[in-house]
Structure 1
Amino acid sequence: MSHMTNPLATPDQLFQRRSFGALPIELQDIIFFATQCLTQSAGVLLQLPQSVTAQANVLLARYWLVEPIMSHEFSSAYHAFHTRLLALEARILYALSFDTHVALPHPLAVTYLQALEFLGAKKERIGKRAVAYLNTALLSPQMLYLTSQPNALAVAAVYNAARDVGAKMPECEWWEVFDVDREELGFLVEEAARAMDEKMDAMETGV
């Protein structure tokens, strides 16, 4: 089952990121959000599968967890493209210990919806909404993909999607069937919803 899980960030890594970065944490969060958006836009322009773009988002987040944001000049890498870009790629791979495996929650979300018979909602509508939450969670400065396993992210996306489309969820604690506890689910539901709101605000303001 290792292919269905990801290496998660440690509490020490999260603490160091927020405490010892050269930039104010608010600015780090803005840069993180903008860069993840640009990565997704690049994936669209290159006509890459969403899974490839999502994996790129996760790998970039992992890199910035061990190498503080802007600790190396990314802009100069593009000025000396042929040499610096290769050097940057090598640095990222080294920082990640050459571990580029990323398990995504998207297939799990679809599987869970199928198991729940789409909660009585239209398949396409609730499915698209769940995927939208998973894609938006990639933008969260809370680095949700580095702190929670794919099954938990998938359940939170299903929960939020069901709530948005007005689907009736089981009255029992159904998330436990998918090995997610109430506390983690509550946190992810709240953070994913916040990320969605921030994305909508950014789109409205043109940021």
Structure 2
Amino acid sequence: MSRVSLQNPIASLEQLAETPSRKDGISEQLEDDLRSFGCELIQSAGILLNLPQVAMATAQVLFQRFFYLASLKDFGIIEIGMGALFLSAKVEESFVRMTYLITVYDHLLRRIQQQSTHTPLDAFSQRAYSLKSMVTTSEMQILKRLGFNVHVQLPYGTMINYLRILGLEEHDTVPKKAWNYLNDALRTHVYTNYTMPTIACGAIWLACRDQQVKLPTTPGGEWWLLFDAQPSEFQNVAAHIQRLYHRKLDRQQLLSHLSDTEATLRNS
């Protein structure tokens, strides 16, 4: 009898070296930009829908996992983002009405395309019907590609426990900074490439470095030894997070990708 691990699945070296999108000729830079932008849209939609952070985070992790098993040439970030958010709301027991979901995504899509004036989505229009169809189809695609393994372990609780052990739980700025770094990390691939202790240590290390807080050295060695983490790995996590703040998205490339979704909606 097979068992489902409660640990997050980690992408293999082969998947990291050559994703389905890169096999289809999509550059690494464009793939990273599309993944990041897709997660940003999930977060924006979740906020507008008043969903808890755990549901938005779960959706972003599922979104990232999906594109290690499918190509951006075959699936768009809008439909997979909607499907991931709709699915994660069920997984995290945070019900969201599909009508609200497609209305929010329609609003975000039109805003991206800089349509300054547009009428709200008519729930009985062909466009609404097409968006609903996208949600149900993409939800099933996610379940199929992930083998119905939609368990997502998040590092927030782990990080709080580590801060408590390090005596930083009540610090004025470090916990909030580290929490924000965990949220920003969702727009990168670290949640599919590293363990939760490593991600938590990366956020803590980056927050302490920013705030010039010296991490304690334990009698038995360095602080990270308490949490079974390696400096090379959690510093890589921190580097991926920092890259977000220095990267400029290619708007034209993103709009070109989104235009495929828009064309599907118009022609359906």
Q: Name the TM tier (shorter chain).
A: 0.7 to 0.9
- Distance (Å, rounded) in 1 between the aligned partners of 2:182 and 2:173: 15
For 1:128-167, what aligned pairs fall within 5 Å after superposition? 128-140=176-188, 143-167=189-213
- Distance (Å, rounded) in 2 between the aligned partners of 1:85 and 1:112: 38
Q: CA RMSD in A?
A: 2.4
Contact map agreement 2:198 2:234 (CA 8 A) in 1: yes
SS at 1:66's partner residue? coil
Give the number of the structure whose residues are more often helix, by fraction.
1
TM-score normalised according to structure 1 size: 0.85
Distance change in 2, residues 1:73/1:175 (3 Å): closer
For 1:99, the equivalent position in structure 2 comes to 149
Q: Aligned to 2:226, which of 177, 182, 185?
A: 177
TM-score normalised according to structure 2 size: 0.66
Unpaired runs of 5+ in structure 1? none
For 2:137, the equivalent position in structure 1 comes to 87
For 1:117, the equivalent position in structure 2 comes to 167
Q: How far apart are residue 73 of structure 1 and its match? A: 4.9
Q: How far apart are residue 72 of structure 1 and its match? A: 2.8
Give 1:153's aligned amino acid.
I
SS at 2:141's partner residue? helix
- Distance (Å, rounded) in 2 between the aligned partners of 1:131 and 1:147: 19
Q: How far apart are residue 194 of structure 1 and its match? A: 2.2
Distance change in 2, residues 1:76/1:101 (3 Å): closer
Q: How far apart are residue 11 of structure 1 and its match? A: 0.8
Q: Deviations over 1:48-76 (max 9, x none)?
A: 11111011000000001100114135668
For 1:189, the equivalent position in structure 2 comes to 238
SS at 2:201's partner residue? helix
The number of residue pairs the alignment matches comes to 195
- Distance (Å, rounded) in 1 between the aligned partners of 2:216 and 2:166: 9
Give 1:168's aligned amino acid.
K
SS at 2:154's partner residue? coil
Between the two proteins, what is the percent identity of the paired residues?
A: 29
- Distance (Å, rounded) in 2 between the aligned partners of 1:36 and 1:158: 22
Distance change in 2, residues 1:162/1:75 (3 Å): closer
- Select the structure of larger CA radius of gyration: 2
For 1:67, the equivalent position in structure 2 comes to 70
Q: How far apart are residue 25 of structure 1 and its match? A: 2.2
Q: Deviations over 1:2-38 (max 9, x none)?
A: 53x2110011111221641342222222111111111
* 1:57 and 2:60 matched: yes
Distance change in 2, residues 1:124/1:16 (3 Å): same
For 2:36, the equivalent position in structure 1 comes to 33
Give 1:97's aligned amino acid.
G
Q: How far apart are residue 82 of structure 1 and its match? A: 3.2
* 1:127 and 2:175 matched: yes
- Distance (Å, rounded) in 1 between the aligned partners of 2:78 and 2:157: 35
Q: How far apart are residue 117 of structure 1 and its match? A: 0.7
Contact map agreement 2:24 2:73 (CA 8 A) in 1: no
Unpaired runs of 5+ in structure 2? 81-101, 103-126, 255-268
